[in-house]
Chains A and B, each alone.
Chain A
Amino acid sequence: MSLELLIVKCKKNNRKAQGELYSLYAKKLFTLCLKYSKSYAESEDNLQDAFVTILSKIKQYNGKGSFEGWMKRIVINTALQRYRKASVLDVIKDDDFLEEVVEIEVDHVSLEFLLSIIQELPDKYRLVFNLYVLDGFSHKEIAEMLNISVGTSKSNLSRARNILKDKIEKNEFKITKTL
């Protein structure tokens, strides 16, 4: 079944089509959830909420732009909503953060490890890091999405990078020690 047909059927509330859509995209979207959440359980909650939103608002998808992008946007919004509600996005003074490049020497690093240190990041750092580095949003867009200033977004990103770097380095150190 083509994606277009699937979407049409989903718009008509066809439960089978909805299931198909889910199995088609669950993995990709779940990955997204994992990055934006603190834990596996929270990611599942997010996926669940996001998919309910997707299926109940699918009529609003007008075929412009990629369907996957549309869904991703909903997943990200759902994740952000959680933290907007919890108002964890403290305002940080607009320092002039230069776009610094954080470099790191790595040998052995697993995806699981990277995911775990992302999840361990404080909420505001995690969100900005994900949005900017992994999902390609600009600081301006991030500032709008999170209702913070561009400066805050930049500073959060910089702090996130440094925290991640420290953790990776410590990990490297541990690994080299054991080797």
Chain B
Amino acid sequence: MGNKKNIDRLFQEQFKDFEATPNDAVWGNIQSKLNERNSNKRRIPVWVMFSCAVATLVFFVGLSMLFLPANESVEAVVVTPENQNSISNDKFVSAGKEEALFVNKSTEKIIDSKLKVNQSNANMGVMYLKTQKDGLSNESFKIKSEVTSAAVKSKLANRGSNEINSNILLLNKSELIQKPSLVQNSSGEMVNGNNKMFASNKYRYDVVKGEGVVAVAEGNTKVVFNEKLNNQDSSRSASGFLSENNAKNNVIEQTNAIKKFTPITSSNIEEREFTGNLKDNSNDIVEDNVVNFSDDTILVKSEMENSLDRISLVEEVVIDEECKEEEVGATVEKTIDEAVAELEEIQKNEDNIDDNEVAFSKWKIAPNIAPVYYNTLSSGSPIDSELSGNKKKGKINMSYGIGVGYAINKKLTIRTGVNKIKLGYNTQDVAIYPFAEAPVDGRGLKNITLTSEASSLNLSGSSGYSISQIPSSYSLLYDSSLNQRLGYIEVPVELSYKISEKKMKINVIAGVSTFFLNENGIYTETNGIETHIGEANNLNKISYSTNIGLGFNYNISKAFNFNFEPTFKYQLNAFSNDSGNFNPYILGVYTGFSFKF
């Protein structure tokens, strides 16, 4: 038998000088891994930078395109008794088509300028302007045009046989989309624009009736930022600041202030009863805060400079609290409760930072809104091969929707949702003329089912011949363009893979979308006026796309993220037969907040 030994010592002694040689292959593996790492390091930033550049470019091009065409159209459609003659001269005479439809209108007589603002459709407030015109040629046909991006429909009704329904762009489309507004029309009715669609945006715009339509069109809009009470404003900015502070983890000084007056406000709330009106107001304020919140995060820097002022503002609110309006209490209470909750979350977060096994939220819900650009990768036309040589111009529309995501693990998330998306593009240089006077080689375009009003029209890609070659007897020739509009309900199924774990998370997104067609229209556009002529008959009711994108998620708090996701979607089978080598794609910059739970 040997010596009794402490087992620890036995191992310690034995292992003291123990050395083992690893396999030579290990160093080889290490080298290859190091190489991989180095090349990865170099590759990712270029890629990310490129994507960022594209995203930024798309974003700004999108913005500019949203605003610019709308301005032109506003100019084109300002039709009032006072200036109609000049409009005619400017717009129609100069187009060199005195014989054309709109020129010889004796439009002084606006018979019925009843204004109706229609709130039924998405971004259309429709106004009917009835006016008389005469001197038209014998063809009785109606051109019914609608401008979806605009708001006003003017109906020029002829006492005789001719009737023209033409739409007039009234409001800047982007304004409508970004700032759903309360429009006050000339008859004093308050009409709700499209607040429902964009519930998060609660800025109110009062359109003040100046000179009827013109006033609206020229943007004589007065912006009223809920300037009801100074107190509200102060509370709003104060609370906006608080939220922002939470996001920035600048917590310490504010924590005390916030906690100090939370009980006061909540007790006040309990004691008070709201009238319906006041409740509404306070809701508005709260929602305003949501908007402010995002604004403020962008303006963090400047906000921070004012932080001291703001803190004093908060304190003023506390002092004034007991003797001032209820809404203030409601707002402050809500936001402060949120603020405190967020502070606690942040503190928890900080405690857990070193812990590798922080529990993470599996589910998230994310409403989004996106400008979407639609265009083709090739030069074909799904309307008719005759138009394949024509220039196509992609249009920017909006998509909005809501998504849910489920985190399979810390890096991989599967997500789906529902988006409502509108798409459109423009085929330039199309000739329109009455069927009876068609040139010999003229024929209707293949994949359009014309409406009854437009059935007497013929269209032709004008690339084949020059307009001057057509005899002047073809009096109703137009040098137009065609707009094809599509609307879909989109159901994406995507995987997103996290490639960066910083405060700003970066994800690679890939997946497929199913598109359910819900809008299909083809419009001619002549001198800024759009006319609905029919719909495409080769569009699939259900189609698919492959999606790839890059997601930038900024943590505002543990549960709340700001998302910015430029995404490219390639449509696979949008057109059933004879897509005419038209390969449409959608480029969208999906922006929104996501909430994890």
Residues of A that sit less than 8 Å from B by CB:
13, 15, 18-19, 22-23, 26-28, 30-31, 33-35, 43-44, 47-48, 51-52, 55-56, 84, 87, 101-109, 111, 114-115, 118, 133-134, 147, 161, 164-165, 168
Taking a contact as CB atoms under 8 Å apart, the answer to whether A161 and B30 are in contact is: no
Q: In the assembled complex, how far is the CB of residue B20 from the closest CB belonging to chain A, in whole angstroms?
A: 5
Taking a contact as CB atoms under 8 Å apart, the answer to whether A105 and B20 are in contact is: no
Taking a contact as CB atoms under 8 Å apart, the answer to whether B22 and A26 are in contact is: yes
* Chain B residues within 8 Å of chain A by Cβ, number: 32
Max chain B C-beta neighbours (<10 A), residue from A52, A101, A105, A168: A52
The 5 A-B pairs with the shortest beta carbon distances in the complex, nearest first, are A107-B2, A27-B19, A30-B22, A102-B7, A133-B8
Nearest B residue to A136, CB-CB:
B12
Taking a contact as CB atoms under 8 Å apart, the answer to whether B10 and A106 are in contact is: yes
**B6-25 vs A, Cβ < 8 Å mask (1 yes, 0 no):** 11101110110011111101
Inter-chain contacts of A51 with B (CB < 8 A) = 26, 30
**B21-36 vs A, Cβ < 8 Å mask (1 yes, 0 no):** 1110111011101100
Docked CA distance A87–B357 (Å): 10
Docked CA distance A106–B13 (Å): 13
Q: In the assembled complex, how far is the CB of residue B278 from the closest CB belonging to chain A, in whole angstroms?
A: 52
Contact among A18, A33, A48, A104 with B7 in the assembled complex (CB-CB below 8 Å): A104
Taking a contact as CB atoms under 8 Å apart, the answer to whether A52 and B27 are in contact is: no
Docked CA distance A41–B22 (Å): 10
Taking a contact as CB atoms under 8 Å apart, the answer to whether A44 and B30 are in contact is: no
14 A-B pairs besides A102-B7, A134-B15 with CB distance below 8 A are A22-B30, A26-B27, A27-B21, A30-B21, A31-B15, A44-B25, A48-B30, A52-B33, A55-B34, A56-B34, A84-B356, A103-B6, A108-B2, A164-B11
Taking a contact as CB atoms under 8 Å apart, the answer to whether B26 and A47 are in contact is: yes
Known: A19-B27, A84-B356, A84-B357. A133 touches B22 (CB 8 A): no
Known: A30-B20, A56-B34. A104 touches B10 (CB 8 A): yes
Whether B443 is near chain A, meaning CB under 8 Å from some CB there, is no
Inter-chain contacts of B1 with A (CB < 8 A) = 105, 107
Docked CA distance A107–B3 (Å): 7
Q: In the assembled complex, how far is the CB of residue B3 from the closest CB belonging to chain A, in whole angstroms?
A: 7
Docked CA distance A56–B39 (Å): 13
Taking a contact as CB atoms under 8 Å apart, the answer to whether B21 and A18 are in contact is: no
Whether B305 is near chain A, meaning CB under 8 Å from some CB there, is no
Nearest B residue to A51, CB-CB:
B30
Known: A22-B27, A44-B23. A111 touches B18 (CB 8 A): yes
Inter-chain contacts of B227 with A (CB < 8 A) = none
Nearest A residue to B35, CB-CB:
A15
Whether B4 is near chain A, meaning CB under 8 Å from some CB there, is yes
Docked CA distance A90–B357 (Å): 14
Docked CA distance A26–B5 (Å): 31
Nearest A residue to B25, CB-CB:
A44
Docked CA distance A111–B12 (Å): 11
Docked CA distance A104–B13 (Å): 14
**B379-413 vs A, Cβ < 8 Å mask (1 yes, 0 no):** 00000000000000000000000000000000000
Inter-chain contacts of B271 with A (CB < 8 A) = none
Inter-chain contacts of B3 with A (CB < 8 A) = 105-106
Taking a contact as CB atoms under 8 Å apart, the answer to whether A102 and B6 are in contact is: yes
Whether B355 is near chain A, meaning CB under 8 Å from some CB there, is yes
Taking a contact as CB atoms under 8 Å apart, the answer to whether B33 and A147 are in contact is: no
Contact among B15, B22, B38 with A111 in the assembled complex (CB-CB below 8 Å): B15
Contact among A35, A44, A109, A164 with B26 in the assembled complex (CB-CB below 8 Å): A44
Whether B260 is near chain A, meaning CB under 8 Å from some CB there, is no
Q: In the assembled complex, how far is the CB of residue B489 from the closest CB belonging to chain A, in whole angstroms?
A: 42
Taking a contact as CB atoms under 8 Å apart, the answer to whether B4 and A104 are in contact is: yes
Residues of B that sit less than 8 Å from A by CB:
1-8, 10-12, 14-15, 18-23, 25-27, 29-31, 33-34, 37-38, 355-357
Listed by A's residue number, 6 A-B pairs whose Cβ atoms lie within 8 Å are A27-B20, A30-B22, A51-B26, A105-B2, A147-B357, A165-B7
Docked CA distance A171–B273 (Å): 84
Taking a contact as CB atoms under 8 Å apart, the answer to whether B26 and A55 are in contact is: no
Docked CA distance A99–B20 (Å): 32
Inter-chain contacts of B2 with A (CB < 8 A) = 105-108
Known: A84-B356, A109-B14. A28 touches B19 (CB 8 A): yes
Inter-chain contacts of B10 with A (CB < 8 A) = 104, 106, 109, 114, 168
Taking a contact as CB atoms under 8 Å apart, the answer to whether B11 and A34 are in contact is: no
Docked CA distance A52–B31 (Å): 8
Inter-chain contacts of A28 with B (CB < 8 A) = 19
Taking a contact as CB atoms under 8 Å apart, the answer to whether B7 and A161 are in contact is: yes
Inter-chain contacts of A18 with B (CB < 8 A) = 31, 34
Docked CA distance A32–B37 (Å): 25
Taking a contact as CB atoms under 8 Å apart, the answer to whether B5 and A105 are in contact is: yes
Q: In the assembled complex, how far is the CB of residue B433 from the closest CB belonging to chain A, in whole angstroms?
A: 71
Q: In the assembled complex, how far is the CB of residue B454 from the closest CB belonging to chain A, in whole angstroms?
A: 66
Q: In the assembled complex, how far is the CB of residue A174 from the closest CB belonging to chain B, in whole angstroms?
A: 15
Docked CA distance A111–B11 (Å): 9
Inter-chain contacts of B356 with A (CB < 8 A) = 84, 147
Contact among B7, B18, B19 with A103 in the assembled complex (CB-CB below 8 Å): B7
Taking a contact as CB atoms under 8 Å apart, the answer to whether A48 and B14 are in contact is: no
Docked CA distance A51–B103 (Å): 82
Contact among B5, B12, B18 with A133 in the assembled complex (CB-CB below 8 Å): B12
Q: In the assembled complex, how far is the CB of residue A17 from the closest CB belonging to chain B, in whole angstroms?
A: 12
Docked CA distance A124–B38 (Å): 35
Nearest B residue to A107, CB-CB:
B2
Known: A19-B27, A44-B22. A133 touches B11 (CB 8 A): yes
Taking a contact as CB atoms under 8 Å apart, the answer to whether A103 and B34 are in contact is: no
Inter-chain contacts of A33 with B (CB < 8 A) = 22
Q: In the assembled complex, how far is the CB of residue B337 from the closest CB belonging to chain A, in whole angstroms?
A: 33
Known: A103-B7, A161-B8. A48 touches B26 (CB 8 A): yes
Inter-chain contacts of A43 with B (CB < 8 A) = 22
Taking a contact as CB atoms under 8 Å apart, the answer to whether B4 and A52 are in contact is: no
Nearest A residue to B36, CB-CB:
A52
Inter-chain contacts of A147 with B (CB < 8 A) = 355-357
Taking a contact as CB atoms under 8 Å apart, the answer to whether B20 and A55 are in contact is: no
Docked CA distance A46–B490 (Å): 47
